């Protein structure tokens, strides 16, 4: 019991200190360990298994929508990074520079990729000549480096894992369609696999990606009411194509510039999973991406027949769900806490009395519900319950998000709301960057997105009072 208590005591309550609660979970659920390299994390087996499940499912969707994987070098020569003016301005201040190879000083510095637009452009220039070579729809899974001042596991680290899609198209329309398609892929993936509801919309000019014509985003809301940008899709128009001279001969025999897009989702999304679904007992994982979906925990396992029965259930279920049995010598209570801490969606408790009655206890991680079920029904009830959990988690997250989405028509209400109960604030905006900056200064909120689903909350900008055409989601953000 002492051991069990210790396990649970070590987590700070989310209401007491949300940031501490987050880092406690990250460590206690064995997702991450800190490394000796400032701001770089070690992704441990359990954390990496979550990423593998995200990767596997997302990759299948990319392939089904006609994308191909490639691998580009991790280094970008300084002169290449500088080719697109806005892009280099955005990224140069936060890159790591390689200056020496072996014992020699390099004649040109290489940066470790913070993102790979410049490398893809340089390659596309080589391989695109005719309309027959289009579209090019490439993606790569890799790690990137951004020299951040303050870092937090998953949310903001110097190095993180991600995928970056880079496409080139014959027309502006096709590039725009791709940009929106991939935003929709991210949105559906978040809702269907991660049980995270998102707001789809466009970034303001101030918040868009360095070098992009337009940036689209999915924004999610964490349990504490702070927003998280969870995936972005950029339309570059022909800006990069002009900087890199990526031209093709079209069907009409004219030389034209390609139109490009890029889009990315990263290990940051694991931070969202933690902060959207987690509770004071630890992580809560959506069944679709949980490395272990079901934990079988024998009760009084020293008694005759208990371990055998638990093993029998494991064998029966192992082709249907991702299941583990915990037959270690820890107490059942300790095993329960551990299973809860690690966010395993479902638990079977089985002891001598249960066996006698041909039943077991099924405990849901998401809402703590316990059901006594017949052992005969497990093949049916376990997958069904996992589906239920997946569905309820999305509903619960959506209800919380909706309850923390507010409207404001004056700056005072806006600021007060964010101060008292942070969340999304819907407010009208004139489109002027000066107002965006003023709102940030006065409330701490940034524009999260101009949502596709517009509402007419008022007719004037909440900041300057001039005519407003756009409703914007605002919020404090990670």
- Binding residues for a second copy (CB under 8 A): 33, 35-37, 40-45, 48-49, 51-52, 68-77, 80, 93-103, 109-110, 112, 119, 122-123, 126-127, 138, 142-143, 145, 147, 159, 161
Radius of gyration of the chain (CA): 25
Residue closer to a second copy (CB basis): 75 or 452: 75
Rounded Cα distance between 87 and 139, Å, is 19
Residue closer to a second copy (CB basis): 15 or 126: 126
Kindly state the tokens that stand for 209: 């990606």
Q: Return the closest-CA partner of residue 335 out of 278, 282, 368, 297.
A: 297
Residue closer to a second copy (CB basis): 99 or 456: 99
CB atoms within 10 A of CB 174: 17
CB of 397 to a second copy, least distance (A): 27
Rounded Cα distance between 409 and 457, Å, is 7
Q: Return the closest-CA partner of residue 151 out of 142, 160, 162, 140.
A: 160
CB of 48 to a second copy, least distance (A): 5
CB of 421 to a second copy, least distance (A): 36
Residue 241's H or E segment, with its range, is helix 239-244
Residue closer to a second copy (CB basis): 93 or 255: 93
CA-based end-to-end distance of the chain = 38
Residue closer to a second copy (CB basis): 71 or 453: 71
Q: What is the DSSP letter of 83?
A: T
Q: Return the closest-CA partner of residue 471 out of 207, 202, 216.
A: 202
CB of 145 to a second copy, least distance (A): 7
Residue closer to a second copy (CB basis): 122 or 250: 122
Rounded Cα distance between 226 and 21, Å, is 15
Residue closer to a second copy (CB basis): 99 or 254: 99
CB of 87 to a second copy, least distance (A): 16
Rounded Cα distance between 447 and 475, Å, is 7
Residue closer to a second copy (CB basis): 330 or 396: 330
CB of 269 to a second copy, least distance (A): 15
CB of 36 to a second copy, least distance (A): 6
CB of 37 to a second copy, least distance (A): 5
Q: From residue 368, how far is each of 210, 310, 362 by CA, in Å?
A: 45, 21, 10
Residue closer to a second copy (CB basis): 93 or 456: 93
Kindly state the tokens that stand for 474: 């605002």
Q: Which phi and psi angles does 334 have, rounded to 5°?
A: -65, -40
Q: Return the closest-CA partner of residue 58 out of 207, 355, 342, 266.
A: 266
CB of 144 to a second copy, least distance (A): 10
Rounded Cα distance between 448 and 475, Å, is 6
Contact yes or no for 439/445 (Cβ under 8 A): yes
């Amino acid at each position: 019991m002492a051991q069990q208590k210790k396990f649970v005591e070590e987590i700070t309550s989310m209401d007491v200190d949300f940031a501490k609660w987050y880092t406690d979970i990250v460590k206690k659920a064995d997702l991450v360990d800190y490394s000796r390299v400032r701001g770089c994390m070690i992704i441990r087996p359990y954390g990496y298994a979550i990423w593998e499940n995200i990767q596997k499912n997302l990759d299948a969707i990319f392939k089904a929508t006609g994308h191909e994987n490639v691998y580009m070098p991790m280094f970008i020569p300084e002169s290449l990074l500088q080719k697109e003016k806005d892009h280099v301005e955005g990224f140069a201040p936060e890159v790591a520079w390689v200056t020496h190879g072996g014992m020699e000083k390099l004649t040109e510095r290489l940066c470790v990729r913070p993102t790979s637009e410049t490398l893809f452009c340089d390659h596309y220039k080589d391989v695109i000549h005719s309309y027959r070579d289009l579209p090019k729809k490439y993606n790569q899974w890799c790690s990137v480096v951004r020299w951040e001042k303050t870092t937090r596991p998953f949310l903001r680290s110097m190095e993180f894992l991600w995928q970056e899609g880079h496409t080139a198209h014959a027309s502006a329309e096709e590039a725009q369609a791709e940009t929106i398609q991939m935003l929709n892929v991210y949105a559906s993936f978040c809702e269907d696999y991660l049980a995270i509801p998102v707001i789809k919309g466009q970034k303001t000019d101030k918040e868009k990606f360095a070098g992009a014509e337009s940036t689209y985003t999915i924004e999610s809301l964490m349990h504490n009411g702070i927003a998280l940008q969870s995936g972005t899709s950029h339309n570059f128009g022909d800006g990069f194509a002009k900087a890199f001279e990526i031209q093709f001969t079209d069907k009409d025999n004219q030389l034209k510039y390609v139109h490009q897009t890029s889009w990315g989702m990263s290990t940051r999304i694991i931070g969202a999973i933690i902060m959207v679904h987690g509770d004071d007992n630890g992580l809560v994982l959506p069944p679709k991406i949980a490395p272990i979906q079901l934990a079988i925990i024998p009760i009084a396992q020293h008694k005759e027949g208990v371990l055998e029965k638990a093993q029998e259930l494991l064998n029966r279920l192992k082709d249907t769900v991702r299941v583990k049995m915990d037959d270690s010598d820890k107490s059942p209570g300790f095993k329960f806490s551990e299973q809860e801490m690690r966010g395993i969606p479902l638990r079977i408790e089985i002891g001598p009395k249960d066996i006698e009655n041909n039943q077991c206890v099924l405990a849901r991680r998401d809402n703590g519900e316990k059901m006594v079920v017949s052992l005969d029904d497990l093949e049916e009830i376990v997958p069904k319950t996992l589906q239920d959990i997946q569905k309820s988690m999305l509903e619960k997250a959506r209800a919380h998000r909706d309850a923390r989405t507010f409207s404001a028509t004056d700056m005072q209400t806006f600021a007060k709301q964010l101060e008292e109960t942070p969340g999304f604030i819907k407010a009208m905006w004139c489109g002027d960057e000066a107002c965006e900056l003023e709102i940030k200064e006065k409330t701490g909120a940034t524009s999260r997105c101009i949502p596709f689903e517009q509402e007419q909350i008022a007719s004037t900008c909440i900041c300057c009072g001039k005519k407003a055409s756009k409703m914007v989601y605002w919020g404090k953000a990670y």
